[in-house]
Structure 1
Amino acid sequence: MRKFFKIFFIVLLVIFAGLYFAGVWVFNQYTLANTYINNKDFSFVKKDQIKDQYEEKMKKLQVTVQGRHDLKDVFKAQDIGYYEELRGKVDLGQNPWAWPILFFSHKDYKLESKLIYNAQVLDQRIASSPFMTDPTATDPKDAYVTYKQGKGFVIEPEVQGSKVAPEKLKHEVLKALKNEKSKLDLNKENVYHDPKVTKDSPYLKNQLASLAKISSINVVYDFEDRKEELNGEKLLALYTDDGQGNLNPDPEKVKAYVADLAKKYDTYRGTRTFYATGGQAVIVQGGIYGWRTNQAKTGEELLKLLNEGQSKTLKPVYSQEAMSRTQNDIGSNYVEIDLTRQHMWVYKNAQLMVDTPIVTGNPSKGNATPTGVGRVWSKERDRYLTGDNYKSYVHYWIPYTWVGVGIHDSSWRSNYGGKIYQSGGSHGCVNTPPKNMPKVYENIDYGTPVVVYKS
């Protein structure tokens, strides 16, 4: 029995020795199992053929590319002259004598290589692929804030496009071939022209919050028989984006809005259609009467209101006011002077209080009474009116321009009306019969408009 085990052991030793040396001989010429070169399986490859097989293996690669709208294409390495060349002498340094120990272990070698392909052919291949020639391909659309009836301002989500960036597609195809990937899903790669702004954008969220606040604001300027509402797009135009989506009132835009408001509604030194006594409509231009907006203070008030996000009905801040805020700002208390008819009428509460002939400025001497709508800014009794060559005492003095023109009694005259003014007129003032002047004085208040025209 001992002899049998001895013989068995010797035979077993001879078999193992034979297997070992056979392995030494084989792995002296071939690579070991689990041999990887640049992540590519090169197990049991003849060592002197590694370089050639490496290149040939790459030439046989192909990748199926799947994109949006069910588009598909196959890129073959051989069509674009693609392969990877190992640089220098290939020596893995595998010890065949240690093959039993190394056989089952994973062996990964990083060797220097050079990627070779025909760039011009690849560019042409990319350009002719269905991903680039698809006539139904669409551009992406950025998310944006919009207004929807019944919902208010909302964020409209972005829309994914189906247009491929050629350079990105080229990069992904080369990457897939290099990594021996047989499939490439463009939906998972960054190759499409994607929207730059998404619905999760902090910018859009800030903008949405700002627009929701602005949409709740309604500022109304009350002009008695007219109203100017500031809301919606007109209001939004007064805001400026801070670059982060926050909309803030812009002082310069508010200033411009108030200037437009004043231009539209101010009547100071304006042009008016006036219905003269007798029914004739006349155009009267200029004069110091009318509404005049204090634009600086009105702008400050509006800017404060917008910063606080408040709605309010208000009136502009005025530096000068008139008798009425209606479109006919002259109202029912006024003085009417017709230079052609040389006549003056005084109305109070729409009732005619004084009806008198007058004598106005002498046009032949350059002293014509100016037309326009003046404003009574003072009332004085018993004073002297002086000029370069005159000094006249009057019992009543009512100036209505800034250049010394006014209404006064004229005791030195005995006749009024007609064409007296053309040769014997005043220095510009409205000479009134002394007997009528007390009633004129009584029925004219500070701020009363004085309408002077030629019929």
Structure 2
Amino acid sequence: MTKKAPSQAKRSSKPTGTGKATGGRKPRKRFETISSEQGVKSSAPPTHFKSSAPAETYAWARANAKRRAKAAAGKGLGLWKIPIAIISTLAVIYLAGVVVFTNLLFMPRTTINGRDESLKSAADVAKTYEKESSAYALDTTGDNVKLTVKASDITLDYNFTHALANIDRLGAAWQWPVRMFRGNDITVNFLPSYDENKLAAAVKGAVNMANVGATPPTNATITYNAESKSYEITPEKGGTVVDEQSVLSHVKAAISTSAKQLSLGEDALVTPTVLSNDPKLANAKNKANTMLAATQNLTVNDKTAATVTADQIAGWMVLDDTLTPTVNVDAITEWTRGDFSESVDTVGTTRNYTTPYGKEVSVSGGTYGWTVDGAALAQTIANNITAGTATTVQVPFSATAATYNPGSADWPKRYIDADLSEQHARMYNENGELIWESDFVSGNPSVNHSTPEGVYAVNNYKGRNQTLKGVDENHDGQPDYTSHVKYWVPFVDNLVAFHDAWWRGSFGGGIYRHNGSHGCINLPTSAAAELYDLTEIGDVVVVHE
């Protein structure tokens, strides 16, 4: 048996491949080449591999190349960690700012109603405001108003905590990096609570003082020009009267923003409510001028008694609340029953005439004659003016006489004539013929019981068998007299009448001066009976001196 060389045996006991060593350690890979010329071993890898080289030689080369590529790639990736870290840090800071400036503090450069409240909490701002508000006072001046309202005067509470806590800060908080430079201005309309009755009373007192002697404003209107006989527009004029509600509104607004000074201007004054450029006013002017042209010709028995002119119509015209021209019917009625009636009526006026027996008489008073129906005439005039209708109007009368003859006898030929100076009465028929006469005794003038003069008519109280009761002039609780008469022909209500006086023995002459009646015309019984039968209700009675 041939013995192996030691070097060979050792080399062959260790595998040259990839297996494990007998000692448990993984053998280090190596390349071994033998020079054919020198027979010397070398551990350096060859520069060129021949196809006959072992497969493990290629595996080692590939693994080594991968390690080098991975190391190079790792160095490139590390460069991106720096900007990512910066961006992440900025994001955290930004979001933290959003949270803080939304919920905790007001951001830098924040103003609330013009005051710098940067980096303060809503609670801290509220405490500051509440401390200041306890000494709050609002001084109001202008328009002659002088008013100081203190917090204690009206039990003022601004509710700062609630108002500041409810500010919507989220939108601005998302923009806090920009707003830190641009500014974050917040306006809070604090809603104060206070005793409104106390505030209103204070304002009312100040306004009332300011309005003493103030000039009220005047609305634009239409004005009658007597020269042109037409209406024109008169412009509005401002005044100095202070509007209480306007001042109260200004004061409330000032208190809501904690203002300490309030200066009132023209907007706190009472202003005209109708302006000259109002189209309704132009329409009113045109309508009024149309109404002015509606003159009225008033006639009695086809004769002109009066003419209603433009000047009169203007005096009756008014503008209502809707700027519509109307006529004042009451004012027209006052004229128809007043001045016009006095110029047309004959009732109670003085009549001058000659009696059928030739006596010149002037008589005044009484209830017979012409009386204008003022109400009916006024309504007719008003209707015509409103419609713009110029026309002729026949005057309506509520009482009439036989003829319209102002200043003279307007009764018919049939009438009763009572001559007080002669103490004699006569009755004439439709033809003016005497059909009855008699002496009489009239009222006693010495005790103010004279028979009233005037033109009257027999009325509906005419009757038979009447009991006369005198007025209680001696104040004993009983009528001064009681008399029974058979024939009663009254002409002044149911108080003065022709009647029989059976208790008298004589009539006529001067008996009435010392023993006259209480105002009635006393007749002999037979004469009274005849007159009673002759008279009719409505027969005219003229009593004169």
- Per the normalisation by structure 2, the TM-score is 0.43
Using CA pairs under 8 Å that are at least 6 residues apart, name the structure with larger relative contact order, 1 or 2: 1
Structure exhibiting the larger radius of gyration computed from Cα positions? 2
